Structure 1
Amino acid sequence: MSKYLLNKFLYTVDRDPELVERYRDEPREMVTWWEAERANSVLNCHTGEASTWLRFDDAEREALIAHDHVRLFELGAHPFLTLTLFIAMFERDNTEPLEYQKAYGMRLAHFALPYPDIAT
């Protein structure tokens, strides 16, 4: 399991409107593509440097594909990264102000301290 890779996915996808839409519309294809093409690139590095060992485990991959922010939090994804990306993807589907954010919080309400470790 790689909390770093989960957070890297959330961070990089959230910063590219085209990737946000691909992740919303075709999550399985998007996660598969991102893992193959972007997972091993060095974050914020434009010189072509890359590693070769980073990959999601099955639980991480399935949680990303399912857009399951509760499971992602359990796996160590940072909730602010998940929230900002998921707002970009799903807030438009709601009619009331902050409706998505409130639903997001309610789905995490069963967690008590200590929360899952989100340190990378």
Structure 2
Amino acid sequence: MAEEVNLETIMGLIINGGNAKSDAMEAIQAAKIGDFTLADSKLVEADKSLVEAHHSQTGLLTQEAQGNHIQVTLLMVHSQDHLMNAITFLDLAKEIVDMYKKVANETK
């Protein structure tokens, strides 16, 4: 049973991390064409996905802190990699969207 819960949690990290990264990329693409409403909306969606991923991660950390040691698998490492890449990508996407906004305002 614990393995099923852990697999569900791991897949939550992968799926939500992937969704966050995809939304962040879509935000950049929207900003690139000047659709800042869509860009901002995509950044909000990416943040929501990361919150969900963090909930999954917190579940694993809580288990470990309670003494329920979790076997570290390649799939778990992969899920953490997805999450960290999504966080980094979203941070950069926010900066890129802001740059596009500044350029758009300066050329008006």
Tell me which protein shows more helix as a share of its residues: 2
* Larger Rg, first or second structure (1 or 2): 2
Which structure carries more relative contact order (alpha carbon 8 Å, separation 6+)? 2
Shorter-chain TM-score: which interval? 0.3 to 0.5
TM-score, normalised by the number of residues in structure 1 = 0.31
TM-score, normalised by the number of residues in structure 2 = 0.33
